[in-house]
Amino acid sequence: MTSVSVFRGFVHGRCAPLFTHQSQLPVTSILIGSKKLAYRSNGLRLYARYSESQSAQTQDLFTSRLQDSIENLPKLVEDIVQTSINTGPRGALRLAQGIQAVIGVGGEWLTELSQSRNSPSGIPSQLQLGLLSPLYLRKLFERLGATYIKLGQFIASAPTLFPEEYVQEFQYCFDRAPVVPFDEIKSILHEDLAAPIDSIYEYVDPTPLASASIAQVHAARLKGSQADVVIKVLKPGIEDVLVADLNFIYVVARVVEFLNPELSRASLVAIVNDIRASMLEEVDFKKEAANIESFRGYLESMGLTRQATAPKVYPEFSTKRVLTMERLYGVPLTDLDSISSLVASPETSLITALNVWFGSLLACETFHADVHAGNLWLLRDGRIGFLDFGIVGRISPKTWSAMEVFLGSIATEEYESMASALIEMGATNTNIDSRAFAKDLEKIFSSIQDLDTEVVVATATRRDTNATAISANLVVDERQMNALFLDVVRVSESYGLRFPREFALLMKQLLYFDRYTRLLAPNMNMLQDQRITIASNRKTTNRNIY
């Protein structure tokens, strides 16, 4: 005779069996206090059937996943082989450099970990996560070079895709990049333009105007026309490094998603593909030239060339790695003193910038998606200058339709409409309580007015006239702007929403313009002012033609 007991818990210090089963008498005995209660039960039989059912379901699920994995394995192998072929020998070099970077940052982590072990407050959370913590991952990206710095910038600019801590930490990736020696820049110019440099340019300033993670910009003057230009040059070896790194990241994402199919719901590979496409576009200056020409075509067709401009591109002196453009002279929209010396009404200049940018959302195939102060100037002739079209966005019809409602609801403070627009824009499989969502959004947007706008005011007195000059400048706090947007994203995600990247790009530009408004037109509401024509109010069929 077989006996089986299942024990759970203690009663008066002794194990109490939930089920005591004998093959001839299915009786359950439970000891409560000093009394023993006995009754007949089919519990064990039901428990056994339930276990068998669960086991069968688990086995079916395992079999189904195994079958899917077997079916997907050839495609995975094909992708890995093809990606490896495309990468070539440069992959091995980057692997060695990657190992060195991991060892270097890992050494820093181990040193700080050993120092914190004796701390009374314990080991900080940053150290507990190791190299996957925001701090050490950012340090690792910086050591790995241009590709990962650009990836860090992508993370910092995409709060809809990445956790808040990582978005905030990777803001440091926007710091100035190291300068490439001018001799290397000259070699690229000579190789790509297939002619001696002095036969094209009267001179090229060896000191760069700017140096970013992937490119460097030098001032120059064309021979013959004597036109002042700037030359944007892709840093040497960047494209090879970029391709190798992005292919490696893609392979890792494919393998991880293959091993854990649940991650496919988070679109891991789709996110990596989005990053890869965006970054590869940014290192192809022919595409940037096309973006500029598209914007210039929009300005010309709309009769806006006297209000705004973008640099003229010299295609005969431009290649995939070299971009020669007209040099524009002006000041950033955050330099209030200089702006006041150039135009009578800074507010009017801001309105022009807003109207031109909003109009481009519908009229152009792409929109300028990086209108920070370095890329949006007031020129000496009073026009608005749009610079650097390396980062652009594309708006899907669904997103734009929802953005129409969203922008209108911000202006009118109708939070239920705002919630409905965000629900329409975000991907979700759940039913959402729109009223509760609206109340949470109201709390966030009511705090916008409380944001600190730091205006730095400086005074100076001239000795000859005793006149006092006042200079004001706006300090744009990237972290504060991102914190606001992260609040919107965080609340939205708590309701199961996930937004497309284009929404994040649009929102970030609106936050930039909000800051310019605070400095140049503090009494103006940019979404309600009748002088500003938001693209959502324009009835046009000419979208995507430029």
Q: Which residues are catalytic?
A: 370
- Looking at the DSSP bridge assignments, the partners of residue 274 are none
Within 8 A by CB and 6+ apart from 513, the residues are 350, 353, 354, 357, 371, 526
Q: Using CB atoms within 10 Å of the CB of residue 221, give its burial: 0 to 12 exposed, 13 to 18 middle, 19+ buried.
A: middle
CA–CA dist 219, 82 (Å, integer): 41
**What number of other Cβ atoms are within 10 A of residue 62's Cβ?**
10
CA–CA dist 188, 237 (Å, integer): 10
- Output the DSSP codes for 337-375: HHHHHH-S-HHHHHHHHHHHHHHHHHHSSSEE---STTT
CA–CA dist 339, 316 (Å, integer): 34
The H or E element that residue 433 is part of is none
Tokens 């959402």 belong to: 432
Q: Encode 254-319 in three state secondary structure.
A: HHHHHHCHHHHHHCHHHHHHHHHHHHHHHCCHHHHHHHHHHHHHHHHHCCCCCCEECCCECHHHCC
Return the biggest CA–CA distance within the chain. 115
* Among 147, 154, 150, 151, CA closest to 91: 147
